[in-house]
Amino acid sequence: MNLALAESTQEKVPSVLEDILKRISSDEKSTNLKQTDIFLVLLIVLLSENGFFLVADNQADTIEPQCLQLIDNKHLSKWKISTGVYELSFVLGGFSDSLIKLMLCPLGISSLINVVISDISPEVYSVCFPVSRYVVDPEASTIPMMFNDLKHLSDTFKTRIITPLKSTLLNHYGYSSASLVGLPEELIINILLYLPISNIINVAKTCRKLSLLLNNECFWHKLFLRDISSTKVSLTDCQEYKTLYRDMYTWQENSRNRVRCRTGSFCDYLNVCEYYSFPTNNPMWNVMF
């Protein structure tokens, strides 16, 4: 591929993409290509650019990236099941034992993509795309003019599908990756222990894997030892360290707040009240106002 999909313009697209579409549209049995068919070809090219091989019939029969132009209407028909959903299989180069299933489900003007590595993880990687944003005119006079904003498609698909897939596969086989979720769990925990609690909570919201990892009681035990320095609570008496951390951290912040109110200026007090959202029935409310 002499041109990446993300670098496409209305004058030029990757040659492999152009070859596939020309081959399909010139087939005698071909009808007018639908947006979803063209969008599926875009996904195949994107995965190919990132090291994934399309599986033709079985795991031993893969279509190499340089041979994608062999794709024709026969393949498109085979991948489309009776419900209108497309089902394809891929393998990542060097990891041919792990089959990756991709399903493209048309939903009106959008399409939902679900990807799963069934023999490694039950997690489903999903993203929904408005197909017409990228395939704007299936009947355009030239193939490049069919498309628009392919850089956005490429970047989003890499972020939501390709990077998590690679990270999961590499982590499963004992390799690290450039992605945070691709690192060993022990290393992720050690990195996160350098962050303040507010950032840790934000990290836990980013994906299911990190959320599950950061709900581990051993992790919260370490946070408790790090942040709750002055407490009379015996750690051996409590196993729910996340709940204990929350309660003690809140108590410490409230204590610091009371100190600020006693020693600070009136403006400091107002700032603290605003930050901590003091209720209007607080005894100090009527005194100050």
157-160 LR contacts (CB < 8 Å, sep 24+): 157/43, 157/46, 157/127, 158/46, 158/50, 160/125, 160/126, 160/127
How does residue 154 score in pLDDT terms, banded at 50, 70 and 90?
very high
Residue 284 has pLDDT above 50, yes or no: no
For 124, phi then psi, to 5°, come to -110, 125
Per residue in 34-66, pLDDT tens?
Answer: 888 889 889 988 998 888 988 866 444 555 544
What contacts 248, CB < 8 A, 6 or more positions away?
A: 224, 228, 231, 233
In the chain, CATH 3.40.1000.30 sits at: 5-172
Residue 144 has pLDDT above 80, yes or no: yes
Neighbours of 7 (CB within 10 A): 13
Phi-psi region of 111 (alpha: psi -120 to 50; beta: other; left: phi over 0): beta
**Six token digits for residue 186:** 């022990």
- Distance from C-alpha of 249 to C-alpha of 126, rounded to nearest angstrom: 36
Looking at the domain 5-172, which fold is it?
Answer: Protein Transport Mog1p; Chain A (3.40.1000)
What pLDDT does residue 134 have?
94
Instruction: Determine the length of the chain.
Output: 289
Percent of the chain at pLDDT > 70 equals 72
